[in-house]
Amino acid sequence: MQKTVILILCWIVLVGSGCDNRSARLQNQKPEHTFRVIVHLEMRNEVVTVMSGHEAPVYTVMTKDGRILVQHLSEHELQAKLPHIYHLLKTSYAGDQTSRPAWAGI
């Protein structure tokens, strides 16, 4: 009888510890949104990543040390949350003189 109770308790502990394996579940999940990167614009203190969204570009702004300030914002959300970055993007130009620009404002 005691051996049966001990075996049942061990089985419950083993099964219970396997049920909370979050890393295995996270690796199997697909990301909610997958955006293609159009361009990375490196500014003095921030790096702006412009990605193609479903209907319009989306913007992610990070500090140079990798801290995310905002992620997956629309143009209007970027203008409301980070107006100085929006202004820099609106007036920026990336590319060389021999080819088409990689980026020319929002």
pLDDT tens for each residue of 27-74: 554 455 688 998 888 888 999 999 998 889 999 999 999 999 999 999
Q: What is the pTM of this model?
A: 0.60
Of 92, 94, 88, 86, the residue nearest 105 (C-alpha):
92
Q: What is the pLDDT of residue 62?
A: 95
The SS3 assignment for 64 reads coil
What type of residue sits at position 23?
S
**Percent of the chain at pLDDT exceeding 70:** 56
Mean pLDDT of 14-23: 53
